[in-house]
Structures are given as C-alpha cells and as structure tokens.
Structure 1
Amino acid sequence: MAQRILHEAPFLTISYNYTDEWLYLDWHGKLDDEVVMDGAIKLLELLQQEHCTKILNDNTRVSGLWADAAKWGGDVFFPQLYAAGCRYFSWVHSPERYSQLSAELAMQQTNAGIIFMAFDDLGPAAEWLRSM
C-alpha cells in the first residue's frame, strides 16, 4: 500500500493512501476535546491540500470522552469538511465505550451531507470506503 505520512503528532498520525485515494487518520491515546479539535483542524487543512473525498478514521487505539468536541464537530467542523470536498467518512470505533459515545454523538449531530459509516474493525471499514 503506497502511503505517505503528512502529519504526526502525539495523538494523531495522518497519512495519504495513494492506492485508495483517501486520508487515513490513526488516533491513539486518551483523547480530550482540545486534542480532537486540533486534529480536526489539521485534517481540514490536509484534505484541502490533497483534494480527496474520502476519510478512513481509525479510533481502535483511542480512549477518552470528548463530547464537547463531538458537538463542535457536528455543528461546525463536518460542514467545513464537506465544503472542502469530503463526501465519505468511514469511522472505526474505539473498543472503549466513552469514546464510542463521543463518536456516535458527532455523527448523529451533523447534517453536513457527508455519508458516514461506523465499524468495529478496520478491514470492513476500508472495504466500504473502497466501494464508494
């Protein structure tokens, strides 16, 4: 898989997958509102830079509750992401329940126009995104 790291931070690595033409977000650690919002803003910048329409958002190594960032994501961030060209967002849930709840809140909160699908495993999440 031809992939290039575009951004590396303590809680988030963002790569561009040239084979599938999507941004891959690998979140890790205990997240909070500030970390999630900072990562989201970086994602928006990179999506505009790479001109892609798909995001594979991997939360399998994440814990923490970030409900305020989830609300902000739904109200503010996802509409900006849509305006920047994102159309498909494949979200792999954290095994940790509080993080799952935050993710679900973010997806339910928005009417941005992005098609979201949530998964428990990376494989099916990637397959769905490839089919779009």
Structure 2
Amino acid sequence: MLLNINTDPRDHSTCALSYEEENHWLRATWRGYVDPVEAMRGAEAYLLHAARTPCSLLLNDNSQLRGPWFDSLDWLAEVWVPQASRLGLRCVAHVLQADRHSDIIPTRLPDSVPFELQIFQNLEDAQDWLKQWHLAS
C-alpha cells in the first residue's frame, strides 16, 4: 500500500514509501538524483507514517539512485535515528546504489545505533534477510 510519494518536478526523482503488509515492513524506494532537501523530506515522511503505522522493519532501497546520497548524515544520526527508534524501528535493510560499491552510512552513523542495520549490494538479499529477521522475532 503506497503511503507517500515525493516527486521532484524538475528531474522526476522520487522517494516512495509503502507498507508491504505481506512482509510486515515499510519500504522506502529512492529513484534518480535525490538532493538533500528531497532526502530529508523522504526521511521525514517515514517518521510521519511510522507514527501512524508502527512497523519495526524498514527496507531502504537505494538501488535506483544516481549521484551522491544525502549530505545530511549528521541530521540522520542526531534526529532521524533517535526518532525512528522511539517509533519502534528495530531493523533496517539498506540497499546500496547500483553505481556505488560502498556507502557512507555505516561510517557516519554512531557505533551504537539502537536498531539492527545491514548493508546489501542487491535488493533480493535485503528482502531475504528482512524476512528471516521477521520470522525470528
């Protein structure tokens, strides 16, 4: 079920947030070149919908992004992470951009992130991991 979509009218980049009831997770799908303002809007949309639809699992799919991703990692660490944790987030599967082989998220977030965070090269592995995590919880 689609909960929110932010589309930049200039370049049609998007952040779509959906709830996948069959998998019991929220999915954030990012496409195109997402500038920092768009990234913050997408992350804030997650917080808004997580408050309405509590969900402990998040699939963050960056596989269709282009260019640099989210210069505001300090904001993520200091604002988003604590709020998401308070809203019940327990597990994040983060899928890297297809055009990158590394990600700055693990190196820029604090060591004591209050939820499980795993980084994946592809969407299928991320989904399999989240399904296993859900079954175990």
TM over 0.5: yes
CA distance in 2, matches of 1:69, 1:97: 18
Q: How does 1:27-106 map to 2 (within 5 A)?
A: 27-66=30-69, 68-97=71-100, 100-106=102-108
- The answer to whether the Cα contact below 8 Å between 1:71 and 1:109 also exists between their aligned partners in 2 is no
CA distance in 2, matches of 1:63, 1:105: 20
CA distance in 2, matches of 1:24, 1:66: 17
Report how many aligned residue pairs link the two structures. 127
Partner residue in 1 for 2:10: none
Aligned residue identity for 1:129: L
Q: 1:124 to 1:130 in 2, by over 3 A?
A: same
Does residue 26 in structure 1 map to residue 23 in structure 2? no
Partner residue in 2 for 1:116: 117
Identify unmatched segments of 5+ residues in structure 2: 8-13
Residue 33 (structure 1) shift: 1.5
Identify unmatched segments of 5+ residues in structure 1: none
CA distance in 1, matches of 2:37, 2:104: 14
- The answer to whether the Cα contact below 8 Å between 1:78 and 1:110 also exists between their aligned partners in 2 is no
Structure 1 ranges of 4+ moved more than 6 A: none
Aligned residue identity for 1:124: D
Q: 1:117 to 1:36 in 2, by over 3 A?
A: same
Task: Give aligned-pair identity as a percent.
Answer: 26
- The answer to whether the Cα contact below 8 Å between 1:74 and 1:110 also exists between their aligned partners in 2 is no
Q: How does the TM-score come out when normalised to structure 2?
A: 0.84
Does residue 9 in structure 1 map to residue 10 in structure 2? no
Aligned residue identity for 1:125: A
Residue 110 (structure 1) shift: 5.8
Task: Give the helix-richer structure, 1 or 2.
Answer: 1
CA distance in 2, matches of 1:102, 1:64: 13
Aligned residue identity for 1:122: L
Q: 1:67 to 1:50 in 2, by over 3 A?
A: closer
Structure with higher Rg: it is 2
